[in-house]
Structure 1
Amino acid sequence: MPAHDTSSVSDSTPLSQPVVIYTRVSTENQVGGRFDSCESQAAVCREQIERHSHEGWHEVACLTDAAYSGGTMERPGIKTLKRMIEAGEVKIVLIYKLERVLRSTDEWVPFRAFLKKHGCRLESATEDLSESTPSGRLKNNLMMSFSQYERENTAEKTSQKMLQQAKRGLWNGGQVPFGYNYDKNTQTLHVHPEEAKIVRRIFEQAARMVSLTDLANDLNAEGLRTKERVWARRDGTQTVVGGCKFRSDGLRLLLKNPIYRGSVKFAGNHFAGKHEAVVTADLWDKA
């Protein structure tokens, strides 16, 4: 019997194409429930993987950076992605849109070179990111430039809004300072009587040159703790922060906060606040 020639038989099995899905949102409010949430982005990407499954596409990981800006690559998910790429575990990085992975022209060129060096390519579930032609590369560069413009424009508008808030004497948000409660309706801070007593004690002791380490130890020995805050997310989950022991570095930051003397600070400028001061300006200066 003549030997069977296997050289003419083609292998129809597609090459393995390990895919990592990467999602990102810039605020906690986008984490769940919205059309552009991390979950929604991942769902669209998985549909794309299914459409290309005959080409060997298969998901090996889904990395998420929730509440991170696209203006920098210093993100936990991106760092993990880079390690996987360097280890040869990824052939395709799949994103919802180009702006989800980056919104900085300065970071775009090095990242693109990094992918090429390791034989990895970037794919979008909603955009054509082909870089096989000069026009394709130009289009991606223009998309990245516009994305950076939008990010910078939004940041400028936010900065102007915060400046106007400060000029009106309104607190600009963040973690509610120990010694106060925040009224969302009036957008003002109101003194928390019990916490305010502790704040005044801290300032008085500091003005008497008491060591902040000793002061923190005394407060902790009495069972006193920092403000406990509950952050509610759109996806229904909650995160509890604070409620910890006092530390000298935390007390130092408290003593430097002009909010306690009735002022609000923005971009190095101080404005008279609409909220009630917890300590006098004289005591604040001495502490």
Structure 2
Amino acid sequence: MNLSQARRCVLYARLSVTKEESVSIARQLESCRRYANARGWEIVGEFVDDGVSATANRPEARNGWTSLLAADDFDAVVIWKVDRLARRVLDFLHADETLQKRGAGLVAVEDPIDMTSPQGRAFAVMLAVFGEMEAEAIRARVRAARAQLLKDGRWPGGGIPYGYRSIANPAGPGRMLVKDPERSPWLVEAVKMALQGATVNAIATWLTDHSAPLPRRQTVRQPAKSATWNRQTVDGLLRNPVLAGMTPHNPGRPKSAKRADPFAVVRDEHGRPVVNESLAVITIEEFTALQLMLDSRTSPQARKRCDRQTTSPFLSRVARCDECDVYMCRGTNQKRPVLYCPACRQTMGRTALDPYLVQRLLVERGSESLGAATVEDRWAFAGADELARRAVLVTQLESLRIRRGVVGRSFDDERVLVRWRPANVGRQADLPDVVIAASP
């Protein structure tokens, strides 16, 4: 693609979690617009990945870049700098190759590159190399700074465990962790109940019934929490190594990430866990025993069967966790129906998921023949019978997978991966015959 012949372009901007005014999304897009207008190009689309790390996420794994590639009729992609697209050389080259295959060129406003010449491509690769080196240097500095904080006994940041709070370090700069006098007694009692065999749900119920203070909100932007405790919160509380005075390697791990190893803690030169006795509420031996007890329970739904809230069997053994490749289970979270993965504990609310799947089934497969009728006819015949409705859905599904999301259990259609069976290959699944009355 010769960029001098380009007429239509799209803009792309990316920003990591760290907000810097000098490279904000708005500033990037404004610079790209000025560049496109100066060259007389028509802007046919703007695509953004906000809060997305280029080191941890390849371009093809980002929603904004994927949407850009799905757009039609553009000759060039305008970015602010090369590192806005990729921080790894291979990722940059792969993204550029994808654009070349569709006849589009890549333009960087602050890095004057011409991807149509060998010299320009070589220069672009050099910029990508420097970007990768800069990213690695940043990671090294962060690791070194965190290691020094831990060595000095200071808190490296992240979510504050329940029962604790951070205060200004009285012996120098930074902050340190101490027990929270308001919440620590509740933590001690919850751990005691768990060691005596109480289930996670029983502890959550006890904390709610006795109006135990909920975890503190970490930021003013965070929405208000529910007035009740839930199983996930209590389970995370009981698995935090701070209970035994140990420091986890990554206390700031995102809540949406896969559950961390509770024994991945800071250790001394002899491999022994470094323990801060002032923070411990139980011994390391008791913490180990507690983890074994929690892991031995195959199902987190530990209430007595008569006390459990029934949920619809519509998606029973239908959806799989995209990360763990296991069937997601039915359950409730704060009395709302959810699907959860028994392995990694990711969840998705069903209040919006079920209607979304029904709509897609009827719109995309409603006219498909199913026995002597159509999918839409079979669905109408099923009525409110959830098992019959499930049977209709299963005949059309090749697979249904739920992938992890940043926003926890909230519904996001991009987390729902639906693959239908080829047309007219649906299974009967013991569906009853449907008789369609002729119009009078």
User: What's the TM-score once normalised by structure 1's chain length?
Assistant: 0.79
Residues 14-58 of structure 1: CA deviation (Å, up to 9, x unaligned): 9851422x222323332xxx2222222222222212212x2x322
Deviation (angstroms), 1:86? 2.7
CA distance in 2, matches of 1:175, 1:91: 45
- The match for 2:34 among 47, 50, 62 is 47
Q: 1:51 to 1:275 in 2, by over 3 A?
A: farther
- The match for 2:287 among 263, 284, 287 is 284
CA distance in 2, matches of 1:225, 1:59: 52
- The match for 2:192 among 204, 208, 222 is 204
Q: 1:239 to 1:214 in 2, by over 3 A?
A: same
Q: Is the 8 A contact 1:171 1:273 kept in 2?
A: no
Count of aligned positions: 261
Deviation (angstroms), 1:154? 1.4
Task: Indicate whether 1:147 and 2:135 are aligned.
Answer: no
Which moves more between the two structures, 173-182 or 261-270?
A: 261-270
CA distance in 2, matches of 1:188, 1:243: 25
Q: Is the 8 A contact 2:49 2:65 kept in 1?
A: no
SS of 2:114's equivalent in the other structure is: coil
Deviation (angstroms), 1:148? 0.5
Which moves more between the two structures, 99-108 or 120-129?
A: 120-129
Which residue identity does 1:39 align to in structure 2? A
Q: Is the 8 A contact 1:180 1:195 kept in 2?
A: yes
Deviation (angstroms), 1:253? 2.6
What is the 5 A alignment of 1:128-207?
128-184=112-168, 186-207=174-195
Deviation (angstroms), 1:220? 3.1
CA distance in 1, matches of 2:74, 2:160: 43
- The match for 2:95 among 111, 117, 120 is 111
User: What's the TM-score once normalised by structure 2's chain length?
Assistant: 0.53
CA distance in 1, matches of 2:230, 2:95: 40
SS of 2:64's equivalent in the other structure is: helix
Aligned match of 1:219? 207
State percent identity of aligned pairs: 19
Deviation (angstroms), 1:205? 1.0
Q: In angstroms, what is the RMSD of aligned CA positions?
A: 2.8
Q: Is the 8 A contact 2:59 2:65 kept in 1?
A: no
Which residue identity does 2:282 align to in structure 1? T
CA distance in 2, matches of 1:193, 1:44: 51
Aligned match of 1:7? none
Q: 1:89 to 1:63 in 2, by over 3 A?
A: farther
Which moves more between the two structures, 120-129 or 84-93?
A: 84-93
Which residue identity does 1:257 align to in structure 2? N
Task: Indicate whether 1:36 and 2:43 are aligned.
Answer: no
CA distance in 1, matches of 2:152, 2:74: 52
Aligned match of 2:242? 259
CA distance in 1, matches of 2:91, 2:99: 13
Q: Is the 8 A contact 1:85 1:118 kept in 2?
A: no
Q: Is the 8 A contact 2:16 2:54 kept in 1?
A: yes
Relative contact order (alpha carbons < 8 A, sep ≥ 6): 1 or 2 greater?
1
Structure having the larger proportion of residues in helix? 1
CA distance in 2, matches of 1:93, 1:248: 47
Aligned match of 1:27? 17
Q: Is the 8 A contact 2:81 2:108 kept in 1?
A: yes
Aligned match of 1:58? 43
SS of 1:131's equivalent in the other structure is: coil
Residues 112-157 of structure 1: CA deviation (Å, up to 9, x unaligned): 1111122232211212221112111111111111111111121122
Q: Which runs of 5+ in 1 are unaligned?
A: 1-13, 232-237
Aligned match of 1:235? none
Q: 1:15 to 1:106 in 2, by over 3 A?
A: closer
Q: Is the 8 A contact 1:170 1:273 kept in 2?
A: no
Q: Is the 8 A contact 2:159 2:218 kept in 1?
A: no
Q: Is the 8 A contact 1:86 1:118 kept in 2?
A: no
Q: 1:74 to 1:228 in 2, by over 3 A?
A: farther
SS of 2:247's equivalent in the other structure is: strand
Aligned match of 2:266? 269
